[in-house]
Amino acid sequence: MKTATLPSLRVEPELRQAAENVLREGESLSGFVEAAVRTQIHWRQTRQAFIARGLAARDAARETGEYFSAEAVLDELDALLAQKPE
């Protein structure tokens, strides 16, 4: 498989030092940066999907006219939590 590179990144020396200071044993700065990029991609994709689901739910509620109060939703969530084994 071919590999690609991310653009070079110029940072202040303090930022680089801070990153180096938190590296785990055997972890490289490149590996740390790659993991950070992967994490941000995952969270941004998750956020986009969450927003898309919310907008779709809003549109469905507008179409059907079926809405739920915050109190009803919270009561149902409390009931679900009460069923969960600890």
Question: What per-residue confidence (pLDDT) applies to 2?
Answer: 79
CA 16 from centre of chain: 24
H-assigned helices in the chain: 13-21, 29-64, 70-83
Is pLDDT at 40 greater than 90 in this prediction?
yes
The amino acid sitting at 82 is A
- Residue 33, pLDDT score: 96
Q: Which of 42, 21, 23, 45 is nearest to 32 (CA)?
A: 23
Mean pLDDT of 47-57: 98
Q: Which amino acid is at 47?
A: R
More confident of the two residues 21 and 2: 21
d(CA 76, CA 80) in angstroms, rounded, equals 6
